[in-house]
Structure 1
């Protein structure tokens, strides 16, 4: 749930919860105070509606008074003789008593009839004064204010008379004196409680994760990058925490990569120093022999010069591979991609290798199917590749195989394979297999690492830089492909170069643009 949604719900709750609490308090207080209103009096409405809605008691009270007042007004207008009948007045008085009211009949300034308990003189003075000041006596011995309903009529004997219905308002006044403060306090309490609780929980849900982020920032500032930031939230703060955790991981990895890079540079310098030291030492030895007169014959001099030339060539090749790998490693080696029909390309490459003197005595075998336009798949095995860089990768694999082919007959096989045909990740693979000594199983995952040699001792005397297969991996990956090694000790090694297949319908040897 987002913070915006939480705030919206909290605002709604700040309105809804006080309203509900306020309503509950109003209903409860009204029920309790109405139950206590005019205890022991003739207030039948309060007693009659204890189980009903609280304010129905007021509705029945005032409704009953209005109904009786209307009936008496009708009698005064149409049959005033009944107001002189004691029996009728007694019945009317009994009905009025049920709604906490009394009856007073005035003839001029004389009281002709008054309900028991009413202070007729006080009510008469109040009516004559026209005020609403309190009159004591009804209910008996309980002071309170009256509400009056005066009905003027003409008596049967023709004299002017007034019918006064006196309603006791003290129970109602007492109810509101207790009810209104309770309601106001309940409203203030509900608002304070609701806002306090919601503010506490909402603020805690925001402040606590921010404090966690502040603590994590302190750890990062102190260099402690191994403490994860896991807020376990789905809102905006959770997203911030996820971004913070990603930043922490990247920073840790970046520092780790920097340390690894620094270590790799140290290893690189050590490897270069070691690999160059051997041929330089040999060259220095030959020069010393030539200068010291040890080579006292022409044949010896030619031998030492040839040795110097060979070691210089090895050094030049090692430096060239180091330069190529460095350029490739920093991504500055330019590639010129074009669409190649890989079968024909491998066939030509193998034919060139047959003429290489370094492969004298090595039997080259080729298994490349020729393209048949009438076959089920009319398209040849094509890739987007840089001719020269791909050739360099193949030659590096061949040179690596030559170093480990010690038994006769020496055989080097080239094969072309299709991987995942028809799939979106369809690839074309060049497999180069030898029957050499093979690679130990524990060394196989590292053969494409730079300066890695499977032999216990370093074979720098062969001119190996330890970068050949690392360069192969870099070139293949720049083509968007992958390279893998398979080997069994004593049986030989296979290097598989897989490149993404190009399924376009037209073949061209014109240079293409480098893929982006």
Structure 2
């Protein structure tokens, strides 16, 4: 029956729904029943003719009408007639049974088995195996929907892993930087307590310790505000609207006027077009990158805005000292900064979080000649 399966498989290689496939299977079964019935009836008639014909040919027509078969051959003839009468019903039952069985095995059981295995893989957390069933029927639509669900779950898992990793970095950085002000408060309180017990607490010593405690409390308050700010970034919604890309340049010109002492060269490598993106988010990222570059640049900054397929890429380069090896790894971590005079280095951290929210990423590097390069990638549609 392999040849029949192969022929049916070639027949159903074209687009066909389940009802069309069932009709074709039943049609093939009916044709098979008709063919088998015809062959069986032909064989039975041939045997009957051999049995009924007399040994010698009768001469007259009346002899054919009056001739009767012998009593010994009568049961065989009855059996052959019985076979002729019921052959179509027997073959019909077998034909429908085989047709429906082949239909179930090829068009029902196979996709169900594939879908069950795929569901088991998804339940086990394995999102790498694609769900593939290509027969252009209802089960293919179901497999495509299940594969879309797999891809969505895979993306959500990756996003959760990234969020978990980012949260671990935030917690680690927060815990690390939290130790210093807490230790300062504890040490100065112990010092005040020791001076007080020995009656050696002078106004100058008290004021000096109080200032340190006050500064440490201020830092703790700033840490708390920073954590709230980072949390707001996670909850910040995207406001995608269709607008010209040239609107990004208006904010750049405003930043340039705020820093007249350092030159900013802007290169645009994209056609004049309208795209869908979050202008406020991109402007905030660009502002963070430029402010960071202005802070470390000596005389000049260069900025390049380019478009590659559906990715908007912003490069910011300064002529400053650039990043050290350690800074290339930790520059985007919370509270990190080359210069911690009154700030905790959240600019690059915020920029990285916002680019991810807009479907992109943030990369930092050093220029070959000198200076730092930061590139922000945003996913847009146009």
Using the size of structure 2 for normalisation, the TM-score is: 0.66
1:438 aligns with 2:332: no
For the Cα contact (< 8 Å) 2:285–2:355, is it kept in 1? no
Residue matched to 1:226: 126
Residue matched to 1:278: 180
1 CA distance for matches of 2:94 and 2:291?
Answer: 83
CA 1:254–1:395 in structure 2 vs 1: closer, same or farther (change >3 Å)?
A: closer
For the Cα contact (< 8 Å) 1:401–1:434, is it kept in 2? no
CA 1:266–1:417 in structure 2 vs 1: closer, same or farther (change >3 Å)?
A: closer
Residue matched to 2:225: 320
Using the TM superposition, give the Cα deviation of residue 411 of structure 1 relative to its aligned residue in structure 2, in angstroms: 1.7
1:413 aligns with 2:318: no
1:101 aligns with 2:57: no
Residue matched to 1:345: 251
1 CA distance for matches of 2:68 and 2:201?
Answer: 142
For the Cα contact (< 8 Å) 2:182–2:216, is it kept in 1? yes
1 CA distance for matches of 2:303 and 2:339?
Answer: 32
Using the TM superposition, give the Cα deviation of residue 40 of structure 1 relative to its aligned residue in structure 2, in angstroms: 3.4
Using the TM superposition, give the Cα deviation of residue 18 of structure 1 relative to its aligned residue in structure 2, in angstroms: 1.0
Residues 101-152 of structure 1: per-residue CA shift (max 9 Å, x gap): 35xxxxxxxxxxxxxxxxxxxxxxxxxxxxxxxxxxx6xxxxxxx63xxxxx
2 CA distance for matches of 1:311 and 1:239?
Answer: 62
Q: Secondary structure at the match of 2:55?
A: coil
Q: Secondary structure at the match of 1:414?
A: strand
Residue matched to 2:105: 204
CA 1:342–1:208 in structure 2 vs 1: closer, same or farther (change >3 Å)?
A: closer
Q: Secondary structure at the match of 2:112?
A: helix
Q: 5+ unaligned residues in a row in structure 2: which ranges?
A: 1-15
Residue matched to 1:29: 44
2 CA distance for matches of 1:351 and 1:439?
Answer: 30
For the Cα contact (< 8 Å) 1:426–1:501, is it kept in 2? yes
Corresponding pairs, count: 351
CA 1:40–1:378 in structure 2 vs 1: closer, same or farther (change >3 Å)?
A: closer
Using the TM superposition, give the Cα deviation of residue 168 of structure 1 relative to its aligned residue in structure 2, in angstroms: 4.0
1 CA distance for matches of 2:356 and 2:152?
Answer: 23
Of structures 1 and 2, the larger Rg is shown by: 1
2 CA distance for matches of 1:394 and 1:443?
Answer: 20
Q: Secondary structure at the match of 2:56?
A: coil
1 CA distance for matches of 2:218 and 2:33?
Answer: 92
For the Cα contact (< 8 Å) 1:416–1:428, is it kept in 2? no
2 CA distance for matches of 1:416 and 1:460?
Answer: 23
Q: Secondary structure at the match of 2:302?
A: strand
Residue matched to 1:491: 370
Residues 395-446 of structure 1: per-residue CA shift (max 9 Å, x gap): 46644885xx6xxxx52633343424xx8758584624242242549956x8
Aligned residues: CA RMSD: 5.1
CA 1:328–1:20 in structure 2 vs 1: closer, same or farther (change >3 Å)?
A: same
2 CA distance for matches of 1:432 and 1:316?
Answer: 33
Q: Secondary structure at the match of 2:53?
A: coil
For the Cα contact (< 8 Å) 2:321–2:372, is it kept in 1? yes
Higher helix share: 2
Please give the residue correspondences for 1:266-305 in structure 2 after superposition, counting only pairs within 5 Å: 267-285=169-187, 292=195
Q: 2:279 aligns with which of 375, 385, 393?
A: 385
2 CA distance for matches of 1:460 and 1:288?
Answer: 30
Q: Secondary structure at the match of 1:204?
A: helix
Residue matched to 2:7: none
Q: 5+ unaligned residues in a row in structure 1: which ranges?
A: 44-96, 103-137, 139-145, 148-166, 355-362, 371-376, 504-516
CA 1:334–1:384 in structure 2 vs 1: closer, same or farther (change >3 Å)?
A: closer
Residue matched to 1:511: none
Using the TM superposition, give the Cα deviation of residue 237 of structure 1 relative to its aligned residue in structure 2, in angstroms: 3.0
2 CA distance for matches of 1:338 and 1:195?
Answer: 63
